[in-house]
Amino acid sequence: MMPVQTVFGKLFGIFRSKTAVLADNRIRIMNEVVSGIRIIKMYAWEKPFSALVTDVRSMKLQRRRLHSQDLTLRTALPGP
């Protein structure tokens, strides 16, 4: 069982690093929105920024689902 757990461990690491990148992108976008809220309101850009944040959030949630599936598989397998 050890090789299977090693493979799932590596997959977990890959999923986690990709999730972290997506979270960083979402935080960067939110910081831009918060710092430029007056300009966003003045030019009525609420919908485009909302769509941008929603897209990034959905990508992050998709990654998190994959991570959860991987974690479930690794937990279900018996240990050494």
Q: Tell me the per-residue pLDDT of 13-68, one tens digit each, with 9 for 90 and over.
A: 888 888 888 888 888 888 888 888 888 888 888 888 888 888 888 888 888 888 88
Handedness of CA 34, 36, 41, 47 (dihedral sign): negative
d(CA 4, CA 74): 9
Q: How far is CA 27 from CA 40, 63, 66, in A?
A: 17, 16, 21
Given this model, what pLDDT does residue 1 score? Answer: 54
Give dist(CA 67, CA 36) in Å, integer.
33
pLDDT at 79: 63
Alpha helix positions (H), the chain: 2-35, 37-42, 46-76
Whether the model pTM is above 0.85: no
